[in-house]
Structure 1
Amino acid sequence: MSIHQAQMPLCQRDYSQLLIIDAQERLAAAMPMDELDLVVANINRLIAAAKVFGIPVIATQHNSKGLGPIIESISANLPPDSKPTEKTAFSCCTATGFERNISAHPERRQLIVVGMEAHICISQTVSGLQRWGYQVFVPADAIISRKSVCKANVLDRMRTSGIQVLCAESVAFEWIGDSTQDNFREVWSLFRNT
């Protein structure tokens, strides 16, 4: 008798892209403040780690006329070539220009998805990314919803649908892979005091 166990995939820096969904000023104002600081800090840590490894960073903003620009502390850390895709659809996968942005790196079939709002735009986007054949990772401590019950619900749905739910620090250390890597201390320092 054999027991089949699903293999747990890991984030690979050579195959990853970081996707920041709708981390916008006015949307942030509606989020639970006790969670928001950690989520913003973890998004910024992942941006910094992505820069260390040359991982593409893609950002979106939903109806920026109504919800404002990307949170200033996140926007200031985005790579210069990371101009946010404007959208009105909840799923990024139906936004004009989005598919072109993520397919600019055809070998990078892993998407690490962070941002707001977990049970709406993130949920619908990760479903679309799965349909497109991407392997999707969602750091639970780098996404947020206005209501914690909604975030908890969508995390359960993701887990049972094959989305890899992990934490931001796991993403960064999976990208490193080995403590003898040249960039180990630089990335470790991002999470040292968390």
Structure 2
Amino acid sequence: MPSSRVSRSPLLMSPDESALLVVDLQERLLAAQGDAERIVWNARRLAQAAAALGVRRAATEQAPEKLGPTVAPLAELLPPRLPKADFSAGACVDLLEEWSREGVRSVVLAGIETHVCIAQTALDLLSAGFEPHVAVDAVGSRFAVDHQTALRRLEGSAVTLTTTEATLFEWCESSANPAFREISKLAKEGGP
């Protein structure tokens, strides 16, 4: 019997093999970001889509006793945050081992700063056998040169660059998905 479609590309993410990792979107760190509102808006949309589609979610906080908690719009959408002192979330070994056991292949990254915690996390994830995807509109650095240079470095290192909206629809896969209406609503939101 012929198939109704070609096999789905292994380059595409699926909800059951994906995870969202929100990195250090904390009050004090965001205060120094020129694009903080855009970063938080897109990270929130990713977190809402992940919840709707059953994608695993996690978040880190860099030295939370000094830099404060994850911002309120995101904190309520994410499980308890993992504190870290290392810049890379690769230090969250228990989480990564759990995801590996559960068959997570793709990890979407959102957060700050692109050239420090995001870059180091993405490269460590790649080294650990995951496929990191950086949502370029949900990450940022204080200075544009750091952000752009980090994105070029990551792309040259086989990290996939993507966007929030591309991720939403890639996870959703079809307008027949029961969560499509919610994903469509998130995609139609007016930006900051």
TM-score relative to the length of structure 1: 0.89
- Tell me the equivalent position of 1:59: 59
Structure 1 position 155, deviation (Å): 0.5
Q: Do structure 1's residue 100 and structure 2's residue 100 form an aligned pair?
A: no
Residue equivalent to 1:25 = 27
Q: CA deviation at 1:103?
A: 2.5
- Does the residue aligned with 1:133 lie in a helix, a strand or coil? coil
C-alpha distance in 2, partners of 1:16/1:102? Answer: 12
Aligned to 2:45: 45
- The corresponding residue for 2:3 is none
Kept in 2: contact 1:58–1:102 (CA 8 A): no
Match of 1:83 in 2: 80
Point out 4+ residue stretches in structure 1 off by more than 3 angstroms. none
Residue 156 of structure 1 is matched in structure 2 by 152
Provide Cα deviations, 1:63-114, integer angstroms capped at 9, x if missing partner.
1122111111111222xxx1111111111112xxx12113223211210011
The 5 Å alignment of 1:161-180 reads 161-180=157-176
Q: Give the counterpart of 1:131 among 108, 127, 131.
A: 127
The structural deviation recorded for 1:14 is 1.2
The amino acid that maps onto 1:109 is R
Q: Give the drift of 1:178.
A: 1.1
Distance 1:92 1:18, change over 3 A: same
- The partner residue of 2:188 within 185, 189, 192 is 192
CA contact (8 A) 2:90 2:96 kept: no
Aligned length: 180
C-alpha RMSD of matched pairs (Å):
1.3
Distance in 2, matches of 1:91 and 1:193, equals 31
In structure 1, the residue matched to 2:113 is 117
CA contact (8 A) 2:21 2:58 kept: yes
Equivalent position SS for 2:42: helix
Give structure 1 stretches of 5+ with no counterpart. Answer: 1-6
TM-score (structure 2 length as normaliser): 0.90
Does the CA contact (< 8 Å) of 2:29 and 2:67 recur in 1?
Answer: yes
Q: Secondary structure at the match of 2:33?
A: coil
Q: CA deviation at 1:193?
A: 2.8
**Contact 2:19 2:107 survives alignment (8 Å):** yes
